[in-house]
């Protein structure tokens, strides 16, 4: 239920605060006074689109705030948990800000909210019925949704379940069709994958191999330079005439004689001895390297060919051996899938046939339930219309014979109506007048409000085109609805205004040149 509504700088309203109570509240006033502006503000709280045109001329932004009682439906509690809104608060406060810059901000109990989530919340709070709802009655494609909304909560859950199953069925159908259509391209790709797999397999690549080959190639290409460097170094360190090691050995003998005289001398002696032993080891290693040095012209050619093969594979499959091997794993997996595609296709086709059978059975189940709903709705609509002085009206939910499966099942329905005795039932869109549409809409709302349990229902001039005793019957019908839910009603009919629990008179005036 809407408890309070605050409006600032919205259209011609600089500031307005309204309080609402249970029962039926009527809003009256001359045409153009601003009654519908208040309803537009309520629509924003329910997730309506915020436009800069709503902002009062000369203002930077407009603000709409509504205070609602917490709905008690279990689905609403689940939604609050999903959106992270604290349910310990006694009320639900919704605020909309729209700025001249085009920014629209939504907050629920101080928490920022997307417009789509605000619409989800608003669907539990406010149900605005106006002239556009007449248009729903005049659109045949909307009739199935109206019939479905008459169903119980268990039926609504089945509709949700069917839509999920149908989406899954269509997804599988697309997958099967894609495989069937691309069977030829799969065969071609199979040949290519086999070639690539075989090419990489034959290369027998190893991680780190390229770096090792480059190092070996560099050694082979610089063989003579290496031999010359080792030979000269060995000669300088170990030649019979004046080799470096003998000189260092003699230096050690001299240093040992004076090492005990000073700690610094002793350190110098130790450093020279360490250098001597390191050079001895280096000389031995150089000698070993020289003993094993042998130029292999054929090996250099092998290394170059191997490196060229790796370069070719890198150009085709990746910038490193690791990348090539990763690609090999990927195509091996795809090969496995493609190779088994025929078996997979048969399996998917079998699954599709099974799903199709299941979804058709589900659709038939929904059809049978809709038939029962339609029969019940027809009787209730006729009763409601009789109370609205359309006692000769006959109403029928007509099921089209075509069985075209969709997210709603097999059914396509259309409302048929006759208001005159002896006249055949015809499509509602072709026979109903404006006043009759108002009464049919009100009859539907009288019935649906029992199931939907919206906290606030708004009737925006739904009584247009009627008068006299029909107006009185409409007034009584709206009062009846207000016993189930809070009702806000804009009307020009005295019969409707007279039965309201609360009455707001809307007027406008000009002050200082502003309305």
CB 98 within 8 A of CB 54: yes
Task: Report the pLDDT value the prediction gives residue 465, as an integer from 0 to 100.
Answer: 67
From the CB of residue 193, how many other CB atoms can be counted at a distance below 10 Å? Answer: 18
Are 460 and 496 in contact by the 8 Å Cβ rule? The answer is no
pLDDT grade for 97, boundaries at 50, 70 and 90: very high
Q: Which of 102-111, 425-434, 460-469 is predicted most confidently? A: 102-111
Residue 333 pLDDT: 85
Residue 304 confidence class, pLDDT cut points 50, 70, 90: confident
The pLDDT value given to residue 9:
92
Per-residue confidence (pLDDT) for residue 342, from 0 to 100? 67
Mean pLDDT along residues 493-504: 92
List C-alpha distances in Å: 24 to 21, 37, 415: 8, 19, 30
- How is 295-340 classified by DSSP, letter by letter? --HHHHHHHHHHHHHHHHHHHHH-SSHHHHHHHHHHHHHHHHHHHT
Rounded mean pLDDT of 327-345? 78
Residue 241 pLDDT grade (very low, low, confident, very high; cuts 50, 70, 90): low
Q: Which residue has the higher pLDDT, 432 or 276?
A: 276
SS3 call for 418: strand
pLDDT of 63 > 90? The answer is yes
pTM (2 decimals)? 0.57
Average pLDDT over every residue of 260-282: 81
Confidence of residue 75 (pLDDT cuts 50, 70, 90): confident
Checking if the pLDDT of 341 tops 70, the result is no
Q: What is the pLDDT of residues 451-467, one digit of tens each?
A: 555 568 888 776 666 77
pLDDT computed for residue 162 by the predictor: 94
What tens digit of pLDDT does each residue of 7-42 get? 999 998 999 999 999 999 999 988 888 888 888 899
Instruction: Determine the pLDDT at residue 24.
Output: 92
Output Rg (C-alpha) for the chain, integer angstroms. 44
pLDDT band at 193 (very low <50, low <70, confident <90, very high): confident
> What's the mean pLDDT when you consider all of the chain?
84
For residue 443, which of 398, 412, 473 has the smallest C-alpha distance? Answer: 473
Query: Any idea which of 67-81, 271-285, 290-304 has the lowest mean pLDDT?
Result: 290-304
pLDDT digits (tens, 9 = 90+) for 348-403: 888 999 999 999 999 999 999 999 999 999 999 899 888 888 888 899 999 998 88
Average pLDDT over residues 152-181: 88
Average pLDDT on 46-59 reads 87
- Partners of residue 413 on adjacent β-strands: 399
The pLDDT value recorded for residue 506 is 92
pLDDT above 80 for 500 = yes
- For position 25, what pLDDT does the model report? 93
| Rounded Cα–Cα distance for residues 195 and 506 (Å) | 82
Answer whether 2's CB lies under 8 Å from 42's CB: yes
CA atoms within 13 A on the CB side of 324: 27
Q: Read off the pLDDT of residues 222-232 as tens digits, 9 standing for 90 and up.
A: 777 777 776 77
């Amino acid at each position: 239920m809407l408890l309070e509504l605050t409006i600032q700088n919205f259209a011609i309203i600089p500031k307005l605060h309204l309080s609402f109570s249970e029962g039926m509240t009527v809003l009256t006033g001359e045409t153009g006074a601003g009654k519908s502006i208040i309803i537009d503000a309520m629509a924003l709280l329910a997730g309506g689109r915020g436009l800069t045109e709503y902002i009062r001329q000369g203002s930077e932004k407009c603000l709409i705030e509504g205070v609602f009682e917490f709905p008690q439906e279990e689905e609403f509690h689940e939604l609050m948990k999903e959106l992270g809104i604290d349910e310990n608060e006694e009320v639900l406060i919704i605020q909309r800000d729209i700025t001249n810059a085009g920014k629209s901000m939504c907050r629920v109990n101080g928490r920022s909210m997307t417009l789509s989530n605000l619409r989800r919340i608003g669907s539990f709070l406010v149900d605005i019925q106006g002239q556009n709802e007449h248009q729903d009655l005049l659109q045949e494609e909307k009739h199935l949704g109206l019939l479905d909304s008459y169903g119980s909560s268990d039926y609504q859950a089945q509709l949700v379940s069917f839509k999920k199953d149908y989406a899954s069925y269509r997804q599988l159908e697309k997958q099967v069709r894609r495989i069937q259509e691309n069977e030829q391209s799969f065969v071609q790709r199979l040949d290519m994958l086999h070639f690539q797999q075989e090419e990489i397999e034959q290369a027998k690549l190893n991680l780190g191999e390229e770096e090792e080959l480059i190092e070996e190639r560099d050694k082979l290409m610089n063989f003579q330079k290496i031999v010359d460097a080792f030979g000269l170094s060995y000669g300088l360190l170990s030649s019979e005439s004046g080799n470096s090691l003998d000189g260092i050995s003699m230096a050690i003998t001299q240093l040992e004689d004076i090492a005990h005289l000073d700690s610094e001398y002793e350190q110098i002696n130790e450093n020279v001895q360490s250098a001597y032993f390191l050079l001895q080891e280096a000389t031995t290693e150089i000698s070993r390297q020289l003993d094993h040095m042998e130029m292999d012209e054929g090996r250099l050619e092998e290394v170059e060919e191997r490196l060229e093969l790796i370069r070719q594979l890198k150009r085709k499959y990746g910038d490193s051996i690791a990348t090539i091997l990763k690609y090999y794993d990927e195509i091996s997996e795809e090969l496995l899938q493609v190779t088994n595609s025929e078996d997979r296709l048969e399996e998917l086709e079998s699954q599709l046939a099974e799903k199709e059978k299941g979804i058709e059975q589900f659709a038939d189940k929904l059809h049978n339930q809709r038939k029962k709903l339609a029969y019940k709705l027809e009787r209730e609509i006729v009763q409601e219309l009789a109370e609205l002085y359309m006692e000769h009206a006959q109403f029928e939910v007509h099921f089209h014979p075509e069985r075209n499966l969709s997210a709603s099942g097999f059914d396509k329905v259309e409302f048929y109506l006759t208001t005159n005795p002896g006249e055949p039932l015809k499509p509602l869109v072709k026979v109903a007048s404006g006043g009759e549409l108002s009464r049919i809409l009100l009859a539907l709302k009288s019935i649906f409000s029992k199931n939907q349990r919206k906290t606030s229902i708004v009737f925006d001039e739904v009584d247009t085109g009627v008068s006299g005793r029909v107006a009185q019957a409409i007034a009584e019908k709206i009062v009846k609805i207000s016993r189930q839910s809070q009702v806000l009603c804009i009307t020009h009919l005295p019969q409707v205004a007279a039965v309201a629990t609360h009455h707001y008179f809307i007027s406008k005036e000009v002050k200082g040149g502003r309305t």
